[in-house]
Structure formats: structure tokens, C-alpha cells
């Protein structure tokens, strides 16, 4: 579902405003977009965009910070420690899959090392909660024991990037990408019944 501004409900809660959301959507479709192209996509002048963001790098950093906040927010609200492990996994992955089409490719934008390190530090608590979910599911006999929690995090990250890229290239719709991301995670992590 899309609002009158072209922002899906999940995406609307990620970015601070319509200009940031439009810039993020455009970067997801055109990762090398210039500030001129980003301004046009956001419906503002290049000067207006530069008043808000002094450089392309500053814009990318702010969008990546919003993506990290959204990722952490999803993990917080879906609470992977609550309920049966399989239900918790489905709940978390389903919500994260909704973020993937727009925020997935932001992870590929170049960042200076200290900024990247700070973002990784901010996401570390959410990642630890996901590691614990995998371990809990393995101990309960619901998840495959051969799937290392670190591999799960790597797979989830790159499936989010791949989902975004599939949407960008027109290979899948956002809903199709979300469905496939979820199915892939479940097929890899869950033990066959």
C-alpha cells in the first residue's frame, strides 16, 4: 500500500521526513545517484537539499542512521525473546523483510570507517538478541543446530541487500522480495518437521 506521497507505511516510519524518504527510495533504485538526481527525486531544488545536507556523504550517513534505528526498532518491537522460537523468528524476519526494499541497499553506500563503526556499535545489541533467538531455537529443537548464529546474521543482512537489489532491477516486486526473503530464512533455519 502506498500513501499519496508514494511512501509505504513501514517506510514512512523509518525516515525523518518525506525528503529523506524520497532520497532513500531513489538511492535504493540508483545507488550512485548524484545530489541533483536525489533533489529531483525528492521534489526539491539542489540548493534546498544542500541546505539540509551539506554533502552527499552527510545525506547517506543520515539515511544509514535512520536504517539502523529502524532495524533496531523492529528487533525491539518484535521482541525475539518472547514466545516460541519459531513464532519469534517469523515475527522478526517478516518485519525486517518489509524494510529491505528501501533500506537494504543503504548498507552498500560507502561510509568513512569511524561512521561505519559507530553504526555497527548501535546495531550490536539487536544483533545479540537475534543470536540469542537462534541459540534458543536450537536448544528447543526447533532450529537446525548446524546454522551458526553468525551465519544467520550474515545471511539476513545479505538477503535484505539482495531483496532491495531485486526490487531495484525489477526482478521482484517488494512483496515478492519480502516473501522470498522470509521463505529462504525459514528453509535454512527451521528444522524439517
Q: Report whether CATH 1.20.120.1200 matches the domain 57-189.
A: no
How does pLDDT run across 42-74, given as a tens digit for each residue?
999 999 999 999 999 999 999 989 999 999 999
For residue 83, give the C-alpha cell: 514466545
Give residue 5's pLDDT: 37
pLDDT band at 36 (very low <50, low <70, confident <90, very high): very high
CA distances, 10 to each of 60, 73, 102 (Å):
19, 12, 10
Alpha-carbon distance 68 to 193, whole Å?
A: 35
What is the total residue count of the chain?
A: 193
Task: Compute the half-sphere exposure of residue 31: CA atoms within 13 Å on the CB side of its CA.
Answer: 16
The whole-angstrom separation of Cα 21 and Cα 166 is 19
Burial string for 163-191 (b: 16+ CB within 10 Å, else e) reads: bbbbbbeeebebeebbebbbebbeebbbe
Say if CB 127 and CB 154 are below 8 A apart.
no
| Range with top average pLDDT, 118-127, 129-138, 174-183 | 129-138
Amino acid at each position: 500500500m502506498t500513501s499519496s506521497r508514494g511512501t509505504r507505511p513501514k517506510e514512512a516510519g523509518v525516515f525523518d521526513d518525506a525528503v529523506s524518504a524520497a532520497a532513500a527510495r531513489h538511492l535504493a533504485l540508483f545507488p550512485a545517484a548524484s545530489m541533483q538526481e536525489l533533489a529531483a527525486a525528492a521534489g526539491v531544488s539542489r540548493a534546498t537539499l544542500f541546505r539540509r545536507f551539506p554533502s552527499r556523504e552527510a545525506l547517506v550517513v543520515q539515511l544509514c542512521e535512520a536504517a539502523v534505528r529502524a532495524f533496531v526498532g523492529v528487533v525491539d518491537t518484535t521482541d525475539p525473546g518472547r514466545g516460541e522460537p519459531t513464532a519469534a523468528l517469523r515475527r522478526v524476519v517478516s518485519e525486517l523483510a518489509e524494510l529491505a526494499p528501501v533500506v537494504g541497499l543503504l548498507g552498500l553506500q560507502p561510509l568513512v570507517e569511524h561512521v561505519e563503526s559507530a553504526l555497527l556499535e548501535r546495531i550490536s545489541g539487536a544483533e545479540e538478541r537475534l543470536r540469542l533467538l537462534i541459540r534458543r531455537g536450537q536448544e528447543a529443537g526447533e532450529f537446525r543446530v548446524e546454522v551458526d548464529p553468525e551465519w544467520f546474521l550474515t545471511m539476513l543482512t545479505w538477503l535484505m541487500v539482495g531483496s532491495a537489489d531485486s526490487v531495484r532491477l525489477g526482478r521482484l516486486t517488494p512483496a515478492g522480495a519480502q516473501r522470498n526473503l522470509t521463505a529462504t530464512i525459514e528453509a535454512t533455519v527451521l528444522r524439517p518437521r
